[in-house]
Amino acid sequence: MNDERLQGPNTKIIHGGQHPDRETGAVSVPIYQSSTFAFESAEHGAACFRGGPGYKYTRLGNPTTEALERSVAFLEGGAGALGAASGMAAINSLYMTLLGAGAHMVAGDALYGPSRTIVETEFSRFGVEADFVDSSDPANVERAIRPETVLVYIETPANPTLKLTDIEACAEIAHAHGSVLAVDNTFASPHLQNPIELGADIVVHSMTKFINGHSDVVAGMIVAADEEMLERLRRVHVNLGGTMDPHQAWLVLRGIKTLGLRVEKAQANAMAVARHLEAHPAVEWVRYPGLESHPQHELASRQMRGPGGIISFGVVGGVEGGQRFIDAAELMVRAVSLGGIETLVEHPASMTHKGVPVDERLEAGITDDLVRVAVGCEDSEDLIADLDRALEQAMSGVAVGV
């Protein structure tokens, strides 16, 4: 393919790795809803199983799924990618490929919940050890490395604290110790951040979020920086079985075409919302990488092409204030997840992190007053009107200092 055509970000998203269907010229990649593929001859079948071109069985490869794999691999600058049934299926294939008895992993302490829990409760049964450190200071990652560390795993920006981790610094640390750096790039999306360019070996995505973008599909992707890692991951992934269904792939292919438009709109809204929140008397603090007040604003400008669409802030009135805020939302949807076209609000202390012991939750920076807004693509004036309404409710019954 002539990559010279693909200069701007939206051109890359729409055309990168894509071509009309070779059989029919269909512009939208058809859904090859078939579990198996006929061989022309015994010799053709044998050649396919020797690793030659051609499809054999959908768990091992499917034309619709491959179109999406080529797209995400192109956008992340990887050698190739593997579609997964969910973000967690992608993450578990990554873990299963790299971890084993006696292996050690260093990870950020603010990982997506199940990404941490599965290591602590299940991989530990197979003799895997892990340390979870505050990776916003790379020195903590370096200190935790042991001779048997095979994987450094980070998420940046992290959920829901929006703490950032320096990808380039972590890649240097991991490689100096002969280990692999994997990055969960879900929060930023490939439109805003490309960890492989910064030295990462593997990128994983929950495509449920920004990449699909329409709150209607659960899906994941693993991207490998080089062919050797891709083949290692593929061997495990196709046998573990958490691969992608062609219909699911087609829906995500439809969603990804507008990734740039959606992320830019959500980000512009988020900036307007964050500035508005900063000036509001019912708001104690705002954490958004696009604000100068974010402690890693400089790192955000360096490793991301934009601050993204997610904001965390503290609302007056503690847990009850947070719940009053969420209850009063009329336009913003009370729901977990993020990266959809509609704005979603959640209150971690009473929802996603309710089951986490209070001291552990507070230590991770997830305070009682923290509200997370995953800003969508509505018009910012309407979002701000809804926020003001909800903030007024949060304030009711609370004496606000001036």
Ligand X SMILES: *Cc1c(COP(=O)(O)O)cnc(C)c1O
Q: Is-catalytic flag, 184?
A: yes
Q: Which CB, 218 or 236, lies closer to ligand X?
A: 218
CB of 340 to ligand X, least distance (A): 12
Task: For ligand X, give the closer residue by CB, 90 or 282.
Answer: 90
What residue number has its CB nearest to ligand X? 87
Q: Which of 12, 163, 209, 287 is catalytic?
A: 209
Catalytic residue among 59, 234, 265, 361: 59
Identity of the residue, 88 or 274, whose beta carbon is nearer to ligand X in the bound complex: 88
CB closer to ligand X out of 83 and 199 = 83
Catalytic site includes residue 288: no
Positions touching ligand X (CB under 6 A) are 86-88, 112, 115, 155, 159, 184, 186-187, 206, 208-209, 218, 220
Q: Minimum CB separation from ligand X for residue 162, in Å?
A: 12
Nearest distance from residue 218's CB to ligand X, in Å? Answer: 5
Whether 209 is catalytic is yes
Residues 32, 95, 112, 153: which is the catalytic one? 112
Catalytic residue among 109, 166, 184, 201: 184
**Closer of 152 and 391 to ligand X (Cβ):** 152
To 10 degrees, the CA torsion angle through 274, 275, 279, 281?
-20
Among left, alpha and beta (phi > 0; psi -120 to 50; other), residue 337 is left
Residue 94 CB, nearest approach to ligand X (Å): 11
Reading the block at residue 282, the tokens are: 């019912």
* Full strand arrangement of the beta sheet holding 310-315: 283-287, 310-315, 370-374, 344-346, 333-334
Closest contact distance (angstroms) between CB of 89 and ligand X is 7
For residue 292, the tally of other CB atoms under 10 A from its CB is 6
How far apart CA 129 and CA 114 sit, in angstroms, is 16
Contact 291, 283 (CB under 8 A): no
Distance from chain centroid for Cα 211:
9
Active-site residue list: 59, 112, 184, 209
